Structure 1
Amino acid sequence: MSPEDIALQMTPGIGVKSAVHLLECFGSAARIFAATEEELTGRAALRPEAARQIVRRKGFPAAERELEHCRRNGLTAVASTDPQYPALLRETPDYPHVLYIKGDAEALTARCIAVVGTRDATPYGQHMCNRLIEGLAERVPGLCIVSGLAFGIDAAAHRAALAAGVRTVAVLANPLPGVTPAQHAGLARDILDHGGALVTELPSQTKQNGSFYLARNRIIAALGAGCVVVESPDSGGSLVTAHCADSYDRTVMAVPGRATDRSSAGTNHLIRNRKAQLVLTAGDIVRELMWDLGPDPATLRQKVPTPELTPDEAGLLGCFRTNDPVTTEHLAGASGLDPGTLATLLVGLELAGAVRQLPGNRYMKL
């Protein structure tokens, strides 16, 4: 970790997305600080005042203080240009350039699943959380459960992971080494003692005002290959996490509840609106993530051979140029089909096992 990486974060006028843009333009924090004001305003289209702050190295005194804070408190600072940085997080358009980690940084690059839910968890929600994570621990080598250390389902997910003997990562909305809520300091110690990690994007010099929880949720969503919402009312942070996961092309899953239960209103709406896949067991989660847990658990399930299709279905399948998910709007434009015909052919391709529908009205080729 170089001082330049933290100094970029500390420079006045440079936010998360500005840092991402600058890194795309110059490749590293060191090259950003080596650039002239003209290069910053021209090549990166940066505002003149922000460019001057970089050229004058205004963030370096704070960066040196932050590095000393990390050394004093046993924290690891990892930049997005470092090999230890989580690859899934790096794929997102608003990744934090620097992560501050206490514990084992390798836990963030394991086979991660995000598990989130309401703070007002019911016995049913806690039971389902325990059941799903226990089942995943039995099936998935190298599993790591990611959550936010909050009351309710978050804490239940961390505890279930610890009880099942798998690592867990808590993403915090406060600087380390502090823990919020303070009542979960003991749980945080257990996470560290069992090979997990505490993570934040916030340096120690951040002014706490309680406004970082929603931003924290995007990191939870990004670290997991999928996001499971166990229990949620019709509004709340866990639905924000689900929305972030969907925007990052992660698989969003939800546990259904009774129609009359307030604590399941949000999860039921996610399922009803096709924003999340319904899951009841750990096996459902593994299938939704398309993980092959055979001899080589690191590989995905092999693609099935393309089945016999009608000429129209085969023509539509040809519009899937890559294995990446595409929207129905993209398919309509690429195929020239009207909405009714397109919907009929997509159903045929689904039944043939050639494509699969994903949340957000997207499809992917299998």
Structure 2
Amino acid sequence: MAENNIIHKIALSMLKGMNAEIIRHISDCGITPEEFFALEAPALADALKMPRINMLERMNRDEAIFKARKEKELMDRHNIRGSFLLDDDFPVRLLHIADPPVMLYQLGHTDLDGLHIANVVGTRRPSPYGLDFAEKLIEDLSAYFPDLIIVSGLAFGIDAAAHKASIKAERETVAVVAHGLNMIYPAAHRDLARMILKTGGSIVTEYPFGEKPFRQRFLERNRIVAALADITIVIESDIKGGAMSTANTAFSYSRDVAALPGRISDRLSSGCNHLIRKEKAHLIGCAADVIEITGWKPLDKQVAPVQRNLFPELDGDPRLIYDTLRFSMEPMQADSIHTQTLIPMPRLMSALGEMEFDGIIIRHPGNRFSIA
């Protein structure tokens, strides 16, 4: 029964046009994954209050089940774990974005709900300045946080440097790839991928076996890189590129973004300088800056309390959020706040970000919130 259950979940993710919004709608209608594939198309469309779209047709659903069975066999053969959007083991940070993957495949056993997760991204052609900073930053953060996890994209340049620095510091690192787990791209990083797994790290993707990388998938991948971490750190980037995509996505998710500044004449610093100038990123120069931005509590360090107005004057969404948190016995996750306030998730995340910036609320590890 359990095996059939995961097969139906994988099959849902393989249907063309399926996304998190539809998955949640199916669940809200009381339809299980098994029932979704068992019902006849007219009955299913009626139960879901949806038109007869292609994904509901019997032929397409049967084809998805066939592919899912093959995928499950490959997962078992290669020790790959799959996490479904509505399952308890789905990474909490991914639940807080508007467009999470329906299925996340993981090779390795890294805890993606760890307390201290940062992603480090940047140019594929870094200077010694950028490479040195990446290694020193991760080395210093590792000294403060034994459970530090660094996320990146396994690309050339800063991505690879971040993974290698994590391995050198004996910390787990997670590579998010834009293809199925039957391959490694770029191929030159196969040894690096093996070392990531050997040292306790993981390789994750939303794509099933056999799916190849192409440009759009790298952009889609970047949202997972951004969402898996509490802070996105950009180390050298042109004004355009994958690192800027990740940074802008993280900013849109109301996650912290930090950037290493550089000389205005350096093309490789133009993206970082732009993010700082547009107030989308904090300026950083050392590990202490990251700790200050995130509010992480490092080992053997005491954070002085800050006096806050106990009852700030608020209205609208912030007032509703504040009252909800004020009467909670413990920090609340965003989805719990959404359930109680009925504030749409994009608007809620924006309000939470503004309230955190104003010092009204505190964000805890795992993106839980409480009154400051």
Task: Flag whether TM exceeds 0.5 (same fold).
Answer: yes
> Offset at 1:145?
0.1
Q: Report the Cα distance in structure 1 between the residues aligned to 2:109 and 2:218, rounded to whole angstroms.
A: 23
Aligned to 2:153: 148
Alignment counterpart, residue 75 of structure 1, candidates 76, 80, 103: 80
> Offset at 1:27?
7.1
> Offset at 1:292?
2.4
Q: Report the Cα distance in structure 2 between the residues aligned to 1:172 and 1:140, rounded to whole angstroms.
A: 25
> Offset at 1:131?
1.5
Alignment counterpart, residue 193 of structure 1, candidates 170, 177, 198: 198
Alignment counterpart, residue 14 of structure 2, candidates 3, 7, 10: 10
Asked whether the equivalents of residues 227 and 253 of structure 2 are also in contact (C-alpha less than 8 Å), the reply is: yes
Q: Report the Cα distance in structure 1 between the residues aligned to 2:143 and 2:31, rounded to whole angstroms.
A: 41
Q: Report the Cα distance in structure 1 between the residues aligned to 2:31 and 2:262, rounded to whole angstroms.
A: 47
AA aligned to 2:122 is: G
Indicate yes or no: 2:21 matched with 1:29.
Answer: no
Q: Report the Cα distance in structure 2 between the residues aligned to 1:177 and 1:121, rounded to whole angstroms.
A: 29
Asked whether the equivalents of residues 103 and 206 of structure 2 are also in contact (C-alpha less than 8 Å), the reply is: yes
Aligned to 2:186: 181
Q: Secondary structure at the match of 2:132?
A: helix
Q: Report the Cα distance in structure 1 between the residues aligned to 2:304 and 2:28, rounded to whole angstroms.
A: 34
Q: Report the Cα distance in structure 2 between the residues aligned to 1:142 and 1:57, rounded to whole angstroms.
A: 43
Q: Report the Cα distance in structure 1 between the residues aligned to 2:190 and 2:140, rounded to whole angstroms.
A: 27
Deviations 1:32-53 (A, max 9, x none): 4355645643564544132224
Q: Which runs of 4+ in 1 moved over 6 A?
A: 300-303
> Offset at 1:237?
0.7
Q: Secondary structure at the match of 1:198?
A: strand
Alignment counterpart, residue 131 of structure 2, candidates 126, 131, 148: 126
Asked whether the equivalents of residues 107 and 167 of structure 1 are also in contact (C-alpha less than 8 Å), the reply is: no
Q: Secondary structure at the match of 2:232?
A: strand
Alignment counterpart, residue 306 of structure 1, candidates 285, 293, 308: 308
Aligned to 1:166: 171
Alignment counterpart, residue 313 of structure 2, candidates 315, 323, 327: 315
Q: Report the Cα distance in structure 2 between the residues aligned to 1:149 and 1:55, rounded to whole angstroms.
A: 34
Indicate yes or no: 2:235 matched with 1:230.
Answer: yes
Q: Report the Cα distance in structure 1 between the residues aligned to 2:10 and 2:157, rounded to whole angstroms.
A: 34
Question: Please, what TM-score do these two structures have when normalized by structure 2?
Answer: 0.78
Q: Report the Cα distance in structure 2 between the residues aligned to 1:181 and 1:301, rounded to whole angstroms.
A: 42
Q: Secondary structure at the match of 2:141?
A: helix
Q: Report the Cα distance in structure 1 between the residues aligned to 2:196 and 2:244, rounded to whole angstroms.
A: 25
Alignment counterpart, residue 284 of structure 1, candidates 284, 289, 307: 289
Q: Go from structure 1 to structure 2 and tell me whether the alpha carbon gap of 1:24 and 1:134 turns closer, same or farther (over 3 Å shift).
A: farther
Q: Go from structure 1 to structure 2 and tell me whether the alpha carbon gap of 1:43 and 1:282 turns closer, same or farther (over 3 Å shift).
A: farther
Aligned to 1:338: none
Q: Report the Cα distance in structure 2 between the residues aligned to 1:355 and 1:78, rounded to whole angstroms.
A: 31
> Offset at 1:204?
1.1
Aligned to 1:87: 92
Q: Go from structure 1 to structure 2 and tell me whether the alpha carbon gap of 1:61 and 1:293 turns closer, same or farther (over 3 Å shift).
A: same
Deviations 1:315-356 (A, max 9, x none): 3589832368x9xxx9xxx9xxxxxxxxxxx9xx96xx6689
Indicate yes or no: 2:248 matched with 1:246.
Answer: no
Q: Report the Cα distance in structure 2 between the residues aligned to 1:116 and 1:242, rounded to whole angstroms.
A: 9
Question: Please, what TM-score do these two structures have when normalized by structure 1?
Answer: 0.80
Tell which deviates more after alignment, 48-57 or 279-288.
48-57
Q: Report the Cα distance in structure 1 between the residues aligned to 2:210 and 2:284, rounded to whole angstroms.
A: 41
AA aligned to 1:104 is: H
Tell which deviates more after alignment, 184-193 or 98-107.
98-107
Q: Go from structure 1 to structure 2 and tell me whether the alpha carbon gap of 1:276 and 1:23 turns closer, same or farther (over 3 Å shift).
A: farther
Q: Report the Cα distance in structure 1 between the residues aligned to 2:304 and 2:172, rounded to whole angstroms.
A: 27
Q: Go from structure 1 to structure 2 and tell me whether the alpha carbon gap of 1:47 and 1:87 turns closer, same or farther (over 3 Å shift).
A: same
Alignment counterpart, residue 111 of structure 1, candidates 113, 116, 136: 116
Q: Go from structure 1 to structure 2 and tell me whether the alpha carbon gap of 1:271 and 1:67 turns closer, same or farther (over 3 Å shift).
A: same
Q: Percent identity?
A: 36
Q: Report the Cα distance in structure 2 between the residues aligned to 1:70 and 1:164, rounded to whole angstroms.
A: 30
Q: Go from structure 1 to structure 2 and tell me whether the alpha carbon gap of 1:124 and 1:194 turns closer, same or farther (over 3 Å shift).
A: same
> Offset at 1:243?
1.3
Q: Report the Cα distance in structure 1 between the residues aligned to 2:255 and 2:32, rounded to whole angstroms.
A: 27
Aligned to 2:65: 60
Structure 1 gap ranges (5+): 335-345, 357-363
Q: Secondary structure at the match of 1:258?
A: coil
RMSD over aligned Cα atoms: 3.3
Aligned to 1:360: none
Q: Report the Cα distance in structure 2 between the residues aligned to 1:153 and 1:75, rounded to whole angstroms.
A: 27
Q: Go from structure 1 to structure 2 and tell me whether the alpha carbon gap of 1:44 and 1:188 turns closer, same or farther (over 3 Å shift).
A: same
Q: Go from structure 1 to structure 2 and tell me whether the alpha carbon gap of 1:319 and 1:199 turns closer, same or farther (over 3 Å shift).
A: closer
AA aligned to 2:307 is: P
